[in-house]
Structure 1
Amino acid sequence: MLLALDKSLKDLSVIVRYEKRLEIAKPKLEEFFEWCGSLTEHGKLGTAITYALNQKDSTMNFLSDSRLLLSNNIAEHGIKSLVVGRKNWLFFQSFDGAHAVASILGLLETAKINGLHSRKYLDYLLTHLPNRQNTPLEAYLSWSPKVQLESR
């Protein structure tokens, strides 16, 4: 229910979303945690209830800033390629090789999050970075306006 509510509010302004969350979601969350606190279950259900109660502060925190997401699906999706390749990376010949791959994957994931085409962004970096003279590195980050223009 909360995920559906949050999805329905995604196109609203930050202020309106904040007010709607307080109006609709806060009472539901308070009711849920009060209900959890009234139970004295044991076994797996008791473990689940204890887990929910231990996450109360973190869950309620999403009400304090309407830019926060209730779900971590975006982060999970972002690290999926790392998890899939984890077994393959056990056999790197050196720490430097593993570090290089981690750096490149970090760049690619950041590019994706910022709406860039990964290949175009890498091409841009490999073309422009070797020729940079006094340009600060910040100019080559994926959210830089010039990079955004040339790597979409």
Structure 2
Amino acid sequence: MENYLLDGRCSISNNAAERAVKSYVMVNFLFHDTVKGAKASAIVYTLAETAKAYGLNIRLYLETVMTKMLDYKNEPDSILEELMPWSEAMQKSCGLNNGTI
């Protein structure tokens, strides 16, 4: 049974999600000539949208993640959890409500 039939708060369609990514897809995927490039771009887009949803400064968040991930193979696995948009560390350092704009 569909979620929207079980919970009235759920949307009956995904139109809002499709509209949100349409401009990204129409512009960016025209220029991807490899699967790896498209996948990398989708990952960055997902990180940016998730950061936005968690109220982070997107530029600062992506800069922080990419700087810390330069040599990620030499970092402990716990760094991945620390770099997620919902982590307390990212909320403190990249949050829009703490004067990082």
> How high is the TM-score relative to the length of structure 1?
0.49
Deviations 1:73-104 (A, max 9, x none): 99825x54421132331341211111111010
Match of 2:82 in 1: 139
Could you say which structure has the larger radius of gyration?
1
Cα distance between partner residues in 2 of 1:114 and 1:83: 21
Match of 1:117 in 2: 57
The structure with the greater share of residues assigned to helix is 1
Q: 1:149 aligns with which of 92, 97, 100?
A: 92
Match of 1:99 in 2: 39
- 2:55 counterpart SS class: coil
Cα distance between partner residues in 2 of 1:100 and 1:144: 22
Which residues in structure 2 correspond to 1:57-68 (within 5 Å)? 58-62=3-7
Match of 2:99 in 1: none
Change (3 A) 1:104 1:72: farther
Greater than 4 Å deviation, 4+ residue runs: 72-75
Cα distance between partner residues in 1 of 2:82 and 2:51: 14
> Superposition RMSD on alpha carbons, in Å?
2.9
Unaligned 5+ residue runs, structure 2?
A: 96-101
Between 117-126 and 128-137, report the one with greater CA deviation.
128-137
One-letter amino acid of the counterpart of residue 21, structure 2 = L
**Equivalent residue pairs, number:** 91
> How high is the TM-score relative to the length of structure 2?
0.70
Q: Per-residue deviation at 1:70? A: 3.6
Given that 2:51 and 2:57 are in contact with CA atoms closer than 8 Å, whether structure 1 keeps it comes out as: yes
Unaligned 5+ residue runs, structure 1?
A: 1-54, 64-68
Q: Once the two structures are aligned, what percentage of the paired residues are identical?
A: 25
Change (3 A) 1:94 1:148: same
